[in-house]
Amino acid sequence: MKYHKTRRQSRITIVHVLYKYELLEQPINVEEAFEEYELNREELAKVSAIAKNYSFLKKTLSSLFNKNWQWDRISPLIRAIILNAAFEMYSIEPKIVINEAIEITKLYFPKDEKDEEKTITGQFYKFVNSLLESYYKLTVTLEAALEKEDKK
């Protein structure tokens, strides 16, 4: 009997794949990831598409950082989460994508007993939320500009 993953489990698997390559600072090797993580067809397609669009996603996400921040300063795990979420925004409702990214962040960076807003983990949630909301706004703006160009 084959095991069926939930959407969140699939997202987590993809985050694991991306995390490995972010941590090792290596390009995503789709064939290796397929074998190592036993990816299903949908996960394989997604990892492959993220690998093909990696430069675009990284450059676009990096453009939204505060000018004092760089891609390499962000935790490899957070980078993996936002890469996956940014890619998903092209096919899934952005509110769902952002919520899922925050929930996955919470799995790996659990709350402290202290006030969530002031802890490092609270800042991770806010960072992921803020960055992905900005990414969504940017994509909407670009789509509107492209539509305007097409009408000319």
In this predicted model, what pLDDT tens digit does every residue of 66-98 receive, in sequence order?
888 899 999 999 999 999 999 999 999 999 999
Out of 31-35, 97-101, 108-112, which region has the weakest mean confidence (pLDDT)?
Answer: 108-112
The lowest-confidence range among 17-21, 40-44, 51-55, 66-70 is: 66-70
pLDDT band of residue 1 (cuts 50, 70, 90) is: very low
How many angstroms separate the CA atoms of 21 and 44, rounded? 15
The structural domains of the chain, ordered by start, are 7-150 (1.10.940.10)
- Indicate the angle between helix axes 7-24 and 76-88, nearest 10 degrees: 130
Query: 123 versus 114: which is more confidently predicted?
Result: 123
- Least confident among 55-64, 124-133, 135-144: 135-144
The CA-based angle 133-136-137, given to 5 degrees, is 90
Please indicate whether residue 68 or residue 23 has the higher confidence score (pLDDT).
Answer: 23
> Between residues 111 and 96, which one has the greater pLDDT?
96
Residue 27 has pLDDT above 60, yes or no: yes
- Res. 117: pLDDT tops 70: no
Phi then psi dihedrals of residue 150, to 5 deg: -65, -30
For residue 113, name the pLDDT band (cuts at 50, 70, 90).
Answer: low
pLDDT given for residue 115 in this prediction = 54
Helix spans in 53-112 (H) = 54-63, 76-88, 94-108
The two structure tokens encoding residue 34 = 């397929």
118 CB-side CA count, 13 A:
3
User: In which residue are the tokens 């919520």 written?
Assistant: 99
